[in-house]
Chain A
Amino acid sequence: MIAEGDKSYVLFPLGGKRFALPAETVTELARPDSVQTFPHRTPLLTGVLVRRGRIVPVCDVAQVLVGPAAPPRKFYLIANCNLESRQELTAVPVTGECELASGALVPRTGQEPPYIRGLLMMGDEIVEIVALEKLIAVEEPV
């Protein structure tokens, strides 16, 4: 049962950690597909997918969230992202299956990087809620 004030989130794994996106932004979890590449200079983008006639950029957020040691990505979480006041789909490679969970957002403490929107307390686990549009704008992977 979802308590008042709780919202739904999709939890996704990147190596040993889990992160969250608001469930209303997520449109599908896709099996690995062939990423197509062409020359570009935007740091986190690894290419594009063609999904149902639409071109979806692939943003490898693991480089920022967990660093270069992240294990191979197995699926793509496809989410709506608000870029320049337009909604665009973005594919985020994740390392395992995702889970739908609900909880209340705990506000940022101010210590987190700007691409963390807030925190979710899942028992002993603290899950960071990601602001995808801010994460995409990161210039240098950590």
Chain B
Amino acid sequence: MKSLKQKRPQPPQPAREDMIVFAVGGFKFAIAAGAVKEIRGMEDLHAFTLGGISGQIAKLKYTLERGGTTYFVVDAARHFQLPASHASRVMVLRNAPTGVLVDSTDRIMEISSLHALPRAFTHEERGWYRGLAVVNGTVVPVVNHNAFLNRAELEILRSGLERVRGVVTV
């Protein structure tokens, strides 16, 4: 009888990638630089209040109008289920109508490999992170930028705004 061959853990993916390091609630994170269109201050944010929807997506705090597009701005501290933090910057994402409130942005660094999140982690973090980077011995989680607002949440927001405004471009 053939014995089942046990799968070995995948080695880190050797791909160089620029990352923006940012901080939320005392933790450092990294996001692919290519996923970020703009980093800006807190000006021009409008409190998000859309009957019923605000309660469904509690992490959604503001909207931002840029170039005819409505961006939905998510509080990263709420997203990562951290205590309230002192947000001061917004990362506006590319290819998605999403902004992310963070405490600060730090620097751009190049990572040479991305470690898979160990399988012992089984909860929401599996969606939050693409993997882990090790920078000078420090582990920095690399966020999955598509998870700040997923497709279903964006669809709820899109249809909610359409109801309120008629047609909206997102």
Interface 9-residue window, one of A13-21, A48-56, A104-112, A123-131: A48-56
Using A42-B125, A55-B132 as known contacts, say yes or no to A36 and B138 having CB atoms under 8 A apart.
yes
Chain A residue numbers with a CB within 8 Å of B140 are 38
Chain B residue numbers with a CB within 8 Å of A48 are 118, 132, 139
Interface 9-residue window, one of B2-10, B49-57, B61-69, B154-162: B2-10
Among A38, A45, A54, A87, the residue within 8 A (CB) of B120 is A45
Chain B residue numbers with a CB within 8 Å of A45 are 120-121
In the complex, whether B168 has a CB less than 8 A from a CB of chain A is: no
Residue pair B139, A42 in contact (C-beta under 8 Å): no
In the complex, whether A118 has a CB less than 8 A from a CB of chain B is: no
CB distance from B132 to the nearest CB of A (A): 6
Residue pair A50, B7 in contact (C-beta under 8 Å): no
CB distance from A42 to the nearest CB of B (A): 5
Using A38-B27, A38-B141 as known contacts, say yes or no to A84 and B125 having CB atoms under 8 A apart.
no
In the complex, whether B44 has a CB less than 8 A from a CB of chain A is: no
How many residues on B have C-beta within 8 angstroms of the other chain's C-beta atoms? 27
Chain A residue numbers with a CB within 8 Å of B6 are 82, 85-87
Whole-angstrom CA separation of A55 from B118 in the bound complex:
8
Chain A residue numbers with a CB within 8 Å of B132 are 38, 48, 55
Whole-angstrom CA separation of A86 from B10 in the bound complex:
9
- Cβ proximity bits B79-106 to A, threshold 8 Å, 1 near / 0 not: 0111000000000000000000000000
Beta-carbon contacts under 8 Å, B130-170 to A: 132, 134, 137-141
Our count of residue pairs bridging A and B at CB distance below 8 angstroms stands at: 75
- Cβ proximity bits A19-59 to B, threshold 8 Å, 1 near / 0 not: 00000000000000000111111100100101001111101
In the complex, whether A136 has a CB less than 8 A from a CB of chain B is: yes
Chain A residue numbers with a CB within 8 Å of B121 are 40, 42, 45, 57
Chain A residue numbers with a CB within 8 Å of B29 are 38
Chain A residue numbers with a CB within 8 Å of B138 are 36
CB-based nearest B residue for A58: B120
Residue pair A83, B120 in contact (C-beta under 8 Å): yes
Beta-carbon contacts under 8 Å, A55-107 to B: 55-57, 59, 81-88, 90
In the complex, whether B119 has a CB less than 8 A from a CB of chain A is: yes
Residue pair A39, B7 in contact (C-beta under 8 Å): no
Chain A residue numbers with a CB within 8 Å of B81 are 39, 41
Chain B residue numbers with a CB within 8 Å of A57 are 118, 120-121
8 sampled A-B residue pairs with Cβ under 8 A = A38-B141, A39-B27, A40-B123, A40-B124, A57-B121, A81-B120, A86-B6, A88-B9
Closest 9 CB pairs of A and B: A41-B123, A40-B125, A83-B119, A39-B80, A57-B120, A57-B118, A36-B139, A38-B141, A86-B7
Name A residues whose Cβ lies closer than 8 Å to a Cβ of B: 36-42, 45, 48, 50, 53-57, 59, 81-88, 90, 136-137
